[in-house]
Structure 1
Amino acid sequence: MPKQDPAKLKKVSVSLPFGIGGAEWEADETERKAAWSLYVELVTRITVQSLEADQGLLREALNSLYSMFAITRQILRDAGPDVGISSQSVGGIAIAVLNKGLRPFLSKWHPLLQTWEAQKPPTASPKQHEKNWSLEPQMYEELLILGKELQQYTEALAEIVGVEE
C-alpha cells in the first residue's frame, strides 16, 4: 500500500493527558510541522525518558521540564496562528499540556527542591544531598507519573505527525 502524502490534511483522533480529554480534527501541514518539532523535543529529553532513582539529578529533570515552556512557546510562535489555540488544535493542546501538566508539577517541586538545595553542605555532592532529602522518593514517584502522562502527549503528537512510535 503506498504511503499517504504527508502534505494532505489528515484526520486525527488523539487521547490527551492531564485530564485534557481527547481531540479530533484534520491537522494541516502547519500543525503537523509544529507537532513534529514538539515531538522531537519531547522524545529526546528526560521529560519522557524514565529517570531511575540512582541516575541523574532531580534538578536536571526539573530544568528539562522547565525548558519545555520556552521551547513550546518558540515553536508555536514560529508556526504562527495557523496552529490554533482551540482544544482541537496542536497549539491549544500544547498550551493545555504546559498549563495543566507541567506548570502544577513545577510549581510544587521547584521551590521544595530549591529550599533543600540551599541547605547542601559544601562537602556533599549534589547527588548525595538529593539522596538525603526526605521528599526525594516522592518526587521520583511523581516524576514517573508525569513521564507517563507526557508519553501519552508524545503518542498524540506522533499520531498527528503520522509517525509510528
Structure 2
Amino acid sequence: MATGAVVGLAVYAISQTGGRFLFVITGAVAGAAVVIGADLYRRTTRLTEIKITVPQLSELTFVVNNDARHVSWQLFVETVTRVSTQRLNDDEGLLREALTSLYGLFATTRDILKASRPSVPPSSGMTVEYLAVMFLNKELRPFLAKWHPQLSEFEAAMPGSPESAWPQAAECRSELRQVQENTRSYVLAYARLAGVRDAEAMLGRRVSG
C-alpha cells in the first residue's frame, strides 16, 4: 500500500510538472528503459543450441546464452580443480580429504546457483542449472550420505588409526572412483556449455580403467 501511494504521488507530480523539468524526468525514464532493455538483450542474445550426452542422463539439448556460459564456466573451474575428477589410487591420498573436497564442491556448486540469475527454460531444451542440480542430487549427495557417517564413526571409534585399518576403505575407494568417473561427464558438459577448448587435456587421465 505504501509503495502504491508513493508511485501515485510521483505520477501525479509528474503530471503537474511542465517545462524543462518534465523533459528531464521523461529522459530519465527513457534512459532507464534503454538500460533495462539492453540488459535483457544481452542476456538473451547469442543463443546457442548444444547437444550433450551425459551417460547418467542420456542425451540432452541445451539452449545457452552469455549468462549460462558464465555459470557453466564457474562450475567447470570449481569441479575440474578438485579431487572429484582426479584419480586416487588405493595407495594415494586420504579418503577423509576426498570426502571433504566433495563436500566443498557440493557447497560451492549450490552457492554458484544461488548467486546466479535463474535461466528462463527454453521451449525445447535444458538449462545449466538443471544439469548442476542433477549432479548434486544423483552423484554427490548419495555418495556423501552413505560414506561420511561411516567414516566418521570409524574415526570416532578408532582415533589415530590409519584409514587402511577401516574395513570399508576399499569399498569406499571403489565407489569414489565411480563417482569421479561420473563427475568427469558433468565436467565435460560444463566445458561444452561454457565454450572451453581442450577440456579433456585439463582433466588429465581418466579416474577408472
Name the TM-score, length of structure 2 as normaliser: 0.68
Q: Distance in 2 between matches of 1:40 and 1:115?
A: 32
> Per the alignment, do residues 113 and 87 of structure 1 end up closer, same or farther by CA in structure 2, a change over 3 Å counting?
farther
- Please tell me the root mean square deviation across aligned C-alpha atoms, in Å: 1.9
Deviation at 1:14, TM superposition (A): 1.0
Q: Distance in 2 between matches of 1:116 and 1:87?
A: 45
Identity across matched positions, percent:
39
Structure-2 residue corresponding to 1:3: none
Q: Distance in 1 between matches of 2:125 and 2:58?
A: 9
Q: Distance in 2 between matches of 1:100 and 1:134?
A: 26
For the pair 1:116 / 2:154, whether they are aligned, the reply is yes
Q: Distance in 2 between matches of 1:58 and 1:79?
A: 32
Q: Pick from 114, 129, 145: which aligns with 1:77?
A: 114
What secondary structure is seen at the aligned counterpart in 2 of 1:13?
Answer: strand
Structure-2 residue corresponding to 1:47: 84
For the pair 1:147 / 2:183, whether they are aligned, the reply is no
Structure-2 residue corresponding to 1:94: 132
Q: Distance in 1 between matches of 2:83 and 2:62?
A: 29
Larger Rg: 2
Amino acid at match of 1:157: Y
Q: Distance in 1 between matches of 2:103 and 2:196?
A: 26
**Runs ≥4 residues deviating over 4 A:** none
Deviation at 1:73, TM superposition (A): 1.5
Amino acid at match of 2:137: N
Structure-2 residue corresponding to 1:156: 189
Name the TM-score, length of structure 1 as normaliser: 0.85
What secondary structure is seen at the aligned counterpart in 1 of 2:73?
Answer: helix
Structure-2 residue corresponding to 1:26: 63
Deviation at 1:83, TM superposition (A): 6.8
Q: Pick from 119, 130, 137: which aligns with 2:163?
A: 130
Q: Distance in 1 between matches of 2:151 and 2:94?
A: 11
Residues 31, 83 of structure 1: 8 Å contact kept: no
> Per the alignment, do residues 108 and 37 of structure 1 end up closer, same or farther by CA in structure 2, a change over 3 Å counting?
same
**Residue ranges of structure 2 left out of the alignment (5+ in a row):** 1-44, 200-209
Structure 1 or 2: more helix by fraction: 2
Deviation at 1:22, TM superposition (A): 2.6
> Per the alignment, do residues 12 and 117 of structure 1 end up closer, same or farther by CA in structure 2, a change over 3 Å counting?
same
Residues 62, 125 of structure 2: 8 Å contact kept: no
Q: Distance in 1 between matches of 2:94 and 2:47?
A: 42
